[in-house]
């Protein structure tokens, strides 16, 4: 592990030791659906609608038979709600019909669920099965590029591969949660709190905006 990687790990452990998944769920399949719903919206927005959704349809069976129009009305505040409403029902059907009602652990099986891509599959593998994946959301993507771990034009898959190369495997899951919270609270897209951050010496954004 490089000095830079160790410094980042130590700093995030100092300020975000207990960072964890911010999505609310009580059943495995609820997490799959919540992560799918979180695309391009905040976790808080998802938690508000998922609370209503999972109370209205409390079982995988009831969710698989849910009214599309009703699901749309429940999650209408979310972006892309029409596609997401369809995916809610299809995911429930897929898990019931193809996996005996149990969320699968393999990435291939998870990505066979409608609306589930690489990032969602990775989050589920981390959260439900403690498998060492490093899901990259908009915050992690931004921070990785500001800290010169990835290049500005790298796509999400490239960023993920570079993060896995820089950091030890046993830190992937914890760092995933820490970096998300770091991006929400300090390394924001607009008006980041650079004066509060101890990663200035590694940060391209800080050097470009404060040292010129």
What are the residue numbers of the active site?
119, 137
Residues in CB range of 202: below 8 A, 6 or more apart: 4, 7, 8, 147, 148
Say how far residue 122 (Cα) sits from the centre of its chain: 8
Say how far residue 72 (Cα) sits from the centre of its chain: 22
Residue 193 · residue 153 · CB < 8 Å: no
Paired tokens of 54:
């999972």
User: Scanning the structure block, which residue is given the tokens 């908009």?
Assistant: 138
């Amino acid at each position: 592990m490089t000095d830079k990687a160790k410094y980042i790990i130590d700093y995030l452990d100092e300020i975000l030791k207990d960072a964890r998944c911010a999505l609310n769920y009580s059943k495995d399949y609820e997490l799959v659906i919540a992560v799918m719903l979180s695309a391009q919206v905040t976790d808080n927005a998802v938690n508000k609608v998922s609370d209503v959704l999972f109370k209205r349809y409390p079982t995988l069976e009831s969710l698989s038979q849910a009214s599309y129009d009703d699901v749309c009305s429940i999650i209408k505040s979310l972006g892309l709600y029409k596609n997401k409403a369809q995916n809610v029902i299809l995911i429930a059907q897929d898990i019931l019909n193809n996996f005996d009602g149990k969320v699968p652990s393999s990435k291939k099986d998870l990505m066979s669920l409608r609306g589930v891509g690489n990032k969602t599959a990775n989050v589920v593998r981390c959260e439900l099965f403690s498998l060492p994946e490093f899901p990259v959301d908009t915050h992690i993507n931004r921070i990785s590029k500001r800290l010169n771990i990835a290049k500005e034009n790298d796509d999400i898959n490239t960023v993920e591969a570079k993060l896995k190369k820089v950091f030890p495997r046993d830190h992937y899951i914890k760092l995933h949660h820490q970096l998300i919270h770091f991006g929400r609270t300090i390394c924001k897209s607009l008006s980041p709190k650079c004066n509060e951050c101890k990663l200035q010496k590694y940060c391209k954004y800080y050097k470009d905006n404060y040292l010129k």
